[in-house]
Structure 1
Amino acid sequence: MLLRLPTSVSEAQGCLAEGATPVGGATLVWAAWQRDGFPEQAVSLRKVPEARVIGAEELGGAVLLHQVDERVPEVLWRAAAGVGTGAVRRTATVDGNLVGSTLRDLLPAALVLDARAVVLATDGTYETDLTEVLAKRPVLLKLRWRTPLASGYRKLPGEPGGAPPLIVAAAAHPTELRVAVRDGYEVLSETLPRDAPPSQLLDALSHTPLDALPDPAREALREEITTVLSQASNH
């Protein structure tokens, strides 16, 4: 297998046009390749500057999870820090977790940030929402969002061999509160207006699909919302 390492977006487009298979850290595809056979050529974006950016309002798809730090909102770096083991985080990428994984630990964080995706196609780049990213699984160049007033993330302990651990995420924006929960392999999200008192915001959740979550998840969500709203009130 020939691994191609373009150093620009235009070079990466050329690799895709020539049939190269996109690969991030290869943590998810390696076993499948060993079983089914390796592609003739693969392409990694790890040397493309746009895919390696880490900033207050953007994160590159080729960034390794262990490199995600306090430069991004708390909800996102805590999500990255909670993925797998240290060895996994040193090889897995943002793109691989969001696009290639069925667990998608970063998805609740990206949803509450109201993130948009810049994706790479053979004919150029374009910006789209996370719904298209999940449905079409394109090559993720980077995520973009607007800095929230406050955000928080919690991953509840899971049972060995059981369902994926519950994940709770929340972010307060100037006019709205966004929350998301991963329950098993399903991710639920809601957006609420921020102009209501915290008690009313919490009560509003009882009229959404989130009310059907198990008690530990609902309690964790309420605690996270309360904390995030308190932090946002100081802005």
Structure 2
Amino acid sequence: MLLRLPTSVSEARECLAEGAVPIGGATLLWAEWQRDGFPALAMSLREVPEAVALGRGTLGAAVVLHRIDDRVPDVLRLAAASVGTGAVRRAATVGGNLVGSTLRCLLPAVLVLEARASVLGPDGVRESDLSEVTAKRPLLLGLRWREPVSSAYRKLPADPGGRPPLTVSVALHADAPGPQRLRVAVRDGYEVLDGSAPYDDDPDTTLHTLRATALRDLPEGAWDAVDAQVGEVLRAADDG
């Protein structure tokens, strides 16, 4: 297998045109390749500046999970820190987790941040929403979002080898004019449910509104975790 390391978006486009298979940390591909055979040509984005960006409001697809720190909101930092083992986090990338993984551990956190994706195709870079990224699996270049007022993440305990653990991601956004807006996303098994509600100093009304969104399909036990995380985010916003 020949691995290409483009150093710009234009070089990455050329690699795609040559049929290069995009890889991240290859944590999800290695076993498959060992079983089915390695591609003749592969490509990593780890030398492309846009793909390794890490800062306020931006995160590149080639960033490995263990590098994600307090330059990003708490919800995303904590979600990344909860993925697999330390060895996995040192190899797995943002793009691999969102596009290649069935669990997509980062997806709920990215959803509540209302992130937009930059994807690379034959015609160049374009903006996409997360539903296209997860459904069509294009080559993800990076993510951008507006900073929330506050955010939080929780991963509940689960039995090893059993059902994937329930996770709760919450972010509070300031929309001017108008009330603030609370966004919640929950991964229940392999399914991700999300919803939003206005927040105007009345947590009970906000939670009641959330129960009328797609989150209404959550099992009642999951709402204890949702209520706790929403309370944490609202208290952090008030303290700030």
Give the structure-2-normalised TM-score: 0.95
Quote the residue 2:5 is aligned against: 5
1:194-209 equivalent positions in 2, closer than 5 A: 194-195=199-200, 197-209=202-214
Aligned residues between the structures: 235
Deviations 1:141-166 (A, max 9, x none): 11000000000000001111111111
Deviation per CA, 1:174-225, whole angstroms, max 9, x where unpaired? 1311000000000000011122611111122332332332343210111000
Identity of aligned residues (%): 63
C-alpha separation in 1, matches of 2:172 and 2:96:
27
The answer to whether structure 1 residue 58 and structure 2 residue 63 are counterparts is no
Q: Which shifted more, 107-116 or 205-214? A: 205-214
Find the partner of 1:177 among 182, 186, 191: 182
Tell me, yes or no, if structure 1 residue 93 matches structure 2 residue 98.
no
| Separation (CA, whole Å) in 2 of partners of 1:10 and 1:196 | 48
1:157 aligns with 157
Partner SS, residue 34 of structure 2: helix
The residue number in structure 2 matching 1:217 is: 222
Normalised TM-score (structure 1): 0.97
Residue 49 of structure 1 deviates from its aligned partner by 0.8
Segments of 5+ residues of structure 2 without an aligned counterpart are 175-179
Q: How far has the Cα of 1:20 moved from its partner?
A: 0.2
Q: Distance in 2 between matches of 1:27 and 1:206?
A: 37
> Match of 1:146, SS?
coil
C-alpha separation in 2, matches of 1:103 and 1:60: 19
SS at match of 1:227: helix
Question: Match for 1:232: what amino acid?
Answer: A
RMSD: 1.1
Q: How far does residue 123 in structure 1 lie from its aligned partner after superposition?
A: 1.7
Match of 2:167 in 1: 167
Whichever residue aligns with residue 109 of structure 1, its letter is A
Does the 8 Å CA contact 2:196/2:213 hold for their aligned counterparts?
no
Distance 2:33 2:212 in 1: 45
- TM-superposition CA deviations, 1:24-65 (whole Å, max 9, x none): 000001111111111110000001111001111000000000
Specify the SS of the correspondent of 1:27. coil
Q: Please name the residue that 1:42 is paired with.
A: 42
Aligned to 1:68: 68
State whether residues 115 and 144 of structure 2, in contact with CA within 8 Å, keep that contact through their aligned partners in structure 1.
Answer: yes
Measured in 2, the distance between the counterparts of 1:153 and 1:90 equals: 21
Deviation at 1:233, TM superposition (A): 2.4
Rounded to whole Å, the distance in 2 between the matches of 1:176 and 1:169 is 14
Could you say which residue in structure 1 is the equivalent of 2:25? 25
Moved more, 197-206 or 9-18: 197-206
* Cα distance in 2, alignment partners of residues 233 and 112 from structure 1: 19
For 1:62 and 1:234, the matched residues in 2 are separated by: 35
Structure-2 separation of matches of 1:120 and 1:163 = 34
What are the within-5 Å matches in structure 2 for residues 133-144 of structure 1? Answer: 133-144=133-144
